[in-house]
Amino acid sequence: MSKPMTMTQKILAAHAGLPYVEAGQLIEADLDLVLGNDITTPVAIREMEKMKDKEVFDKDKIALVMDHFIPNKDIKSAENCKCVRDFACSHEITNYFDVGQMGIEHALLPEKGLTVAGDAIIGADSHTCTYGALGAFSTGVGSTDMAAGMATGRAWFKVPSAIKFNITGKPSEWVSGKDVILHIIGMIGVDGALYRSMEFTGDGIKNLSMDDRFTIANMAIEAGGKNGIFPVDELTIEYMKEHGNRPYKVYEADADAQYDEEYTIDLSALKPTVAFPHLPENTKTIDEIKEPVRIDQAVIGSCTNGRLDDLRIAAKVLKGKKVKKGIRCIVIPATQEIYLKAMEEGLLKIFIEAGAVVSTPTCGPCLGGYMGILAAGERCISTTNRNFVGRMGHVDSEVYLASPAVAAASAIEGYICAPR
């Protein structure tokens, strides 16, 4: 009789060619995809050049996405992109995405059908855990591990133990996946899931859209998680069929799988939630904010909340209203396809008429890159994923993390609030 395993452990066992793995075990696993961007890939390329085997293991299983400083903001970013562009050309990388085709990597790859259920994926970007929304094992690694993955198609892992989150109920209006994950991080802390798999289950998952699930899985790393993962249901399968034709494999946790801890999250009890500076765990529900927190800027976008549902929600709040005088509101669709659909639906018109600006797809201000850097003393409410000291600019600026609904409402009022 086989020993019980979690979803993550089953995927890792299959990719390691083993019948069973357990928490803490060191394994070497085959990879379905290796991801890099314009910041991390140049480092990986230089590491790969030191290796005996300088060829990529499979030109179809590497994705290189130019998204952090694209279009290039300065000479250094231009040189980084040229380095990756030359590498992609010389190795005939199939999935290379540059200006005109690119998008924010963690929104782009699922959209292109490059990530499916049952995959084992590494990416030289910490938010690679996003693809767990589709029932894949995906995790962020350093550029050296990315180099080894590109050359060999394999990676070493320590099999993580797991925490189970039982999702129940149905969220009320203006409560989204961002509020769910901020609530969880506020509850367990930024190291509450350190090197553990965050496995989401329960009948409430059916009330979460795919965009909600991508948001939740995306921020598993903000609780220290090795990965976040959702079970595969009809909505997942529908999404994968709509966006590609790659074969997928469904893994289900055994009923008696071992979890370090278990939590129940009642979606109906959640309220719009904001993470105050300077950690994602520093959360308050909107009704716990007693004094007005005035802002200078609102950012709606990123690999966490730049998807179509996010833009629709923000547009619903902003329609017929104006961004408050003196407030800068920046909207960043996550991919070209999302940008196009938002345009066709009239969302961009709503944003522009409200007094917001709409950017080309880019990570932009999230990492203090460009398109919305903060000066000393400025405050930004943002749908991004991190609010560390100096994350979006000056070390004396402040970042407040929230959902698109709260960010849009705050842009209208000039202080942090939920839609009225």
The pLDDT tens digits of the residues spanning 310-337 come to 999 999 999 999 999 999 999 999 999 9
What domain count does the chain have? 2
Helix segments in 159-198, DSSP class H: 177-188
Whether residues 180 and 213 fall in one domain: yes
Same domain, 304 and 242: no
Tell me the residue type at 367: L
Same-domain pairing of 309 and 236: no
Q: Are residues 74 and 211 in the same domain?
A: yes
Other Cβ atoms less than 10 A from the Cβ of 264: the count is 12
Q: Indicate whether 92 belongs to any domain.
A: yes
> Are 211 and 190 contained in the same domain?
yes
Which tokens belong to 260? 């370090």
Residue 339 lies in a domain: yes
Region 79-85: what's the mean pLDDT?
A: 96
Q: Name residues whose C-beta falls within 8 Å of residue 134's C-beta, 6 or more positions apart in sequence.
A: 110, 115, 116, 117, 119, 230, 232, 236, 239, 240, 248
Question: Which residues partner with 386 through β-bridges?
Answer: none
Helix (H, G, I), strand (E, B) or coil at 10: helix
The proportion of the chain whose per-residue pLDDT surpasses 90, expressed as a percent, equals 94
196 lies in some domain: yes
**294 occurs within a structural domain:** yes
E-strand ranges in 90-239 read: 95-97, 120-123, 137-140, 154-158, 162-168, 197-201, 227-229
CA dihedral 106, 110, 116, 121 (to 10 degrees): -20
Residue 76's domain spans which residues?
Answer: 7-265
Q: Is the CB of residue 100 less than 8 Å from the CB of residue 81? A: no
419 domain-assigned:
no
| Residue-level pLDDT at 240 | 97
* Confidence tier at 52 by pLDDT (50, 70, 90): confident
pLDDT reading at 46 higher than 80 = yes
Convert the pLDDT of each residue in 249-299 to its tens digit: 999 999 999 999 999 999 999 999 999 999 999 999 999 999 999 999 999
Amino acid at 283: T
- CATH number of the domain bearing residue 381: 3.30.499.10
| Residue 420 in domain | no
Mean pLDDT of 174-200: 96
Check if the beta carbon of residue 47 is closer than 8 Å to that of residue 143. Answer: yes
In 98-252, DSSP assigns E strands to: 120-123, 137-140, 154-158, 162-168, 197-201, 227-229
pLDDT at 399: 97
Burial class (CB in 10 A: 0-12, 13-18, 19+), 341: middle
Domain end among 265, 299, 323:
265
What angle, 0 to 180 degrees and rounded to 10, lies between the N-to-C axes of helices 347-354 and 308-318?
A: 40
| Interacting residues of 290 by C-beta distance below 8 A, sequence separation 6+ | none
